[in-house]
Amino acid sequence: MAPGVEPLVVVAAADTTALLEVGPLLRDWGCRVVAAGDGGQVAAAVACELPALLLLDPTIEQPGGSDEVMGRPGLSVALFDKRDGSHAGETALRRGAFDYLTWPLDPHRLRVILAHAVERRRLLERISKLESDVAGPPVDGTDENLRAIDRLEKGAIIDALRRAGGNVRQAARLLGFGQATVYRKIKRYHIELRNRPRPVEPAPEFTTIPPSPAPTCV
């Protein structure tokens, strides 16, 4: 969802009064709103365009079961139920929603939920774009041949090694990797730990080792 694009919100409720109360608020905040009164309408609305947020009445039965809608990748679902407001949070967690809306309607909470859903969608889209730029494994570990995601990883490893004073085990803990994995990535990215003479600079320096030339066949 690009900045400036009106987010789509699907409001699914069996009670039409809920639709009448929530819809105008969302439109005032610059959202496109689609109302759904039953499971079939929910499925149709989600199939046409993945909304930034689905406000779902948990009493609505889905044609393929609740998992079909709740499990859609990238879809933020917030549950609300006018009849069971005291257990809204428990119901939402049990069904896998990312948030819930209590009743009577709290406009401030609705706006917070909407903001979180929109930001979550934008983050997922940025990650998806980054992954789409990754065509295949790099030719070698030199910077000019690295993919964007590999350059980020290489920088994170170098930063962790600096913070750990060159200790690979401590750097692995900082990164959340296994020690063997960090050693493998150090080799892949041609990262060399080289200590400068003391006392000029006790901290280790990290450089990139140029790849060995390929053997020439004669």
Give me the CATH number covering residue 83. Answer: 3.40.50.2300
Range scoring the smallest mean pLDDT among 56-60, 106-110, 172-176: 172-176
Model-level pTM greater than 0.75? no
Beta bridge partners of 192: 207
Is the same domain home to 13 and 113?
yes
Q: Is residue 213 part of a domain?
A: no
Is the same domain home to 126 and 148?
no
Q: Is residue 79 part of a domain?
A: yes
Q: What is the mean pLDDT of the chain?
A: 75
Overall domain count for the chain: 2
Decide if 69 contacts 154 (C-beta within 8 A).
Answer: no
For 194, phi and psi rounded to 5 degrees? -135, 120
Is the same domain home to 16 and 119?
yes
Is the same domain home to 15 and 107?
yes
Neighbours of 6 (CB within 10 A): 13
CATH number for position 169: 1.10.10.60
Q: Is residue 55 part of a domain?
A: yes
Q: Is residue 169 part of a domain?
A: yes
Q: Is residue 110 part of a domain?
A: yes
Separation between Cα atoms, residue 37 and residue 45, nearest integer Å: 11
Q: What angle in degrees, to the nearest 10, is found between the helix axes of 16-28 and 107-132? A: 70
Is the same domain home to 22 and 124?
yes
Q: Is residue 74 part of a domain?
A: yes
Decide if 196 contacts 207 (C-beta within 8 A).
Answer: no
Is the same domain home to 170 and 73?
no
Q: Tens digit of pLDDT for each residue in 65-97?
A: 555 676 677 788 888 876 655 666 666 766 667
| pLDDT (mean) for 41-54 | 87
For 163, phi and psi rounded to 5 degrees? -65, -30
| pLDDT (mean) for 32-53 | 88
Does the pLDDT of residue 218 top 50, yes or no?
no
What are the CA-CA distances from residue 60 to residues 13, 14, 47, 121, 150 (Å)?
A: 7, 7, 17, 24, 45
Residue ending a domain, among 109, 132, 155, is 132
Is the same domain home to 55 and 83?
yes
Q: Which residue has the tokens 């009445």?
A: 57
Residue ending a domain, among 92, 107, 132, is 132
Is the same domain home to 22 and 44?
yes
Does the pLDDT of residue 180 top 70, yes or no?
yes
Separation between Cα atoms, residue 77 and residue 100, nearest integer Å: 8
Decide if 78 contacts 55 (C-beta within 8 A).
Answer: yes
Range of the domain at 41: 8-132
Residue ending a domain, among 132, 166, 196, is 132
What are the CA-CA distances from residue 30 to residues 5, 99, 115, 129, 209 (Å)?
A: 9, 21, 12, 25, 53
Beta bridge partners of 204: 195
Beta bridge partners of 208: 191
Is the same domain home to 21 and 41?
yes
